[in-house]
Chain A
Amino acid sequence: MPPEFSVRSDSVDVEQIMQQIRARIREKRGVDYTEEELRQLAAVKLEKFLDPTRVRSDLVQHYQKARQPGGASTLEPPPENYAFDDHLVYGSARGASGRLITSLRRLLNPVLKLFINPNPIIQVLHRQSAINAYNREQFDRIADLNYEVMHNLVLELTRLSLEVKNLKMRVESVSGRLDFSDRRARALESVVQYKPGSGPAAELAAAPTQAPAGGQGARREAETAAPGAPIKGEAQRARRRRRRHGRGGAPGQQVPGSGAGGGAAGAAREAADGGAAAPGAGGGAGDSLPFDGAEPGRAEAPSPGTPGLTDQ
């Protein structure tokens, strides 16, 4: 980025300012890419990210090839332009005698003009020659412009396709996180319905041997918290146990709030685990739920189906 214009009261240098302005414009336009970089961007990226059936990544090469002599263009090469002036009419190519003939013709021109005036014809043909040259120049200029426009279009298309791809990934990620947050919120809502010492959790706590933590009552809550979420039976229960062990320390060590001494909090944890562990919320989602004192809202999980593609 060019430096900002710092102006002392009497030291304005317009030439320098204009150079900076032009540098800034070049930067904005992005024309400082080398030709090689442009080709690389226009070809490689297209191959990777664009639908090959719809956009030809070698568009530019095809265009160049078509413009080369003997290329795919169906146009015949134009005939050479001629330079027409009065020398062509009066002149002669016979050396010294040619000069004499030229002089003679010029001398006799007034006589010729009694019969026919060649000057308007010379002027018209000269003008036509100039028009031809002009058209040719314009054609070349427009062709160059077309090439440049096409080149830039391909480049921009590549950039846009990359951006679209990135945006799609972000949308998926955000969508997964939203889904997860939604489920977590519903699980939390279900937790605050219970009062310590009452409800099915208290009953469960009173009969630990019949129904281990995370038993039927909790499972029902989990079902309530996540309607439609299937219970996976033993495998899921085993997974929850493993998690609790992992959280609480070595296997066999009692986790606070779990088992007989867990009470309502343990039941609630189960309920929350059950809700959060529902399919669609990610396998490890329950690990970061905020029941162990972690701040709500900080829990994050990778989005479903896009492992490693989040923007975190």
Chain B
Amino acid sequence: MKLAVVVQRYGLDINGGAELHARYVAEQLARRAEVDVLTTCARDYITWRNELPAGESEVNGVRVRRFPVRRERVPERFGRRSHHVFGSVHSIADELAWLASEGPASTALIDCIRRNEAGYAFFIFFSFRYYHAYHGIRAAASRALLVPTAERDGAVGLSIFGPIFRGARALMYNSFEERAMIQAVSGNDAAPHVVVGVGSEVPASTNPDRFRRKYGITTPFVVYVGRIDENKGCKELFSHFERYARAVRGDLSLVLMGNTILPIPDHPRIRHLGFVADEDKFDGIAASEALVMPSYFESLSMVALEAWALGKPVLANGRCDVLQGQCLRSNAGLFYESYEEFLETLALIQSNRRLASAMGRNGRDYFQRHYAWPVVVRKYLDMFDRLRADDERGAGRVPIEPLPGWFARRRAECRAGDIVVRELPSGPSRRAERRR
């Protein structure tokens, strides 16, 4: 079986959530099938500048085919169009223009998919919101599996994506909340789907003492791992933690790992380590009291799964449905929606060792049951088998809805994406994975 993983960027040094997800899946599936990665030459997701050479290469034993991006993103134009399609009534043509300006606009990649459609059993597209996924699925809908990695933002509410969600052969969701959101917005309940998520390359053993020695950290701490960005809720985290440090005596610190685009407060109990190697990351999580995940929008927090895999509880932002749902289903994390809740939950994790270790055990168990690689890979393979069985029976192939005509595309009838999303049902899902 020959598979193609199609993703906007790919490489060992590319740590975006969806990109890392795609790499992990490609590497795992490569052990069971022939896998090609089809991607662009871009490394930077802001400009999509062609920085990597076009053509074939190999990354961790997986063949990678890179295609140049035809034009870089113009942030001003993209911002203006985003404002328009997310904020006001607009047309399909406006949305297509928005998609083109978002990029990465690689027509060569789409042409390759179209030309080689028959050469691959399935194409696994990552991130519905980008150019390559939209046009790629339209080019090879009958063999397209979509891993949407959808967050609760205006893009989900755009009209052009409805046919994509309904027309892909199968959807591999990251969480029950993501599935509920996409099904509500597109009505694609009939499309084959599974909530699968992603595993993680968590080491079998960690060395917390080594981490403490290396960074000179002697006090207990909670850790944040990821890009330090206001959009990730870090500003609110800093504010909450500073208030917490004033309110609660003790020496609990906040340790931050990751590149920052946000000024970090000069506080004796906040420590920024910058971008760290995977070994340090895992050792740091293992040395911590808990992982803090302050993000408002996540389709799946891989770092939260990693913390659970290492037996650490998670303190998550409860305004993110996905994180809250995972905490509830796993019984392995607490969540906050206000400073008072942050104070109480963090103080509880810090003071109640039995609770923290019980949640850690639950987290490890949850990870093993749902996100260990054998489980994840099995779900992919089962889906391939199911689709092939459907093909053999001549069932299951629903042609993708064509784009409307020239005039219809220009009719300003599409509602603002933000408003559409705001009206979607929200809240965590408590079913399915909940332990009995």
Contacts and interface: CB of A to CB of B under 8 A. Distances in A.
B55 interface: no
Contacts of B341: 21-22, 25
Contact of B412 (A8, A14, A29, A122): A122
Interface in B100-145: none
A12 B345 contact: no
> Chain A at the B interface: mostly helix, strand, loop or mixed?
helix
Interface in B290-349: 327-328, 330-335, 340-341, 344-345, 348
B362 A123 contact: no
Nearest to A84: B89
B90 interface: yes
Contacts of A99: none
B3 interface: no
Interface residues of B, number: 31
B264 interface: no
A123 B362 CA distance: 51
B82 to A, nearest CB: 14
Contacts of A130: 87-88, 416
A250 interface: no
Contacts, number: 72
A242 interface: no
Interface string A102-125: 000010000000000001001100
Contacts of A127: 87-88
B375 interface: no
A126 B357 CA distance: 54
A126 B416 CA distance: 11
B344 A14 contact: no
Contact of B334 (A7, A18, A86): A18
Contacts of A21: 334, 341, 344-345, 348
Contacts of A126: 88-89
A24 interface: yes
B218 interface: no
B217 interface: no
Contacts of A14: 327-328, 330-334, 359
Nearest to A124: B88
A85 interface: yes
Nearest to A125: B88
Which 3 pairs show the lowest CB-CB distances between chains A and B?
A7-B355, A25-B340, A21-B344
Given A21-B348, A119-B412, 6 more contacts: A9-B361, A12-B359, A14-B332, A14-B333, A123-B88, A127-B88
Interface of B: 84, 87-90, 327-328, 330-335, 340-341, 344-345, 348, 352, 354-355, 357-359, 361-362, 411-413, 416, 430
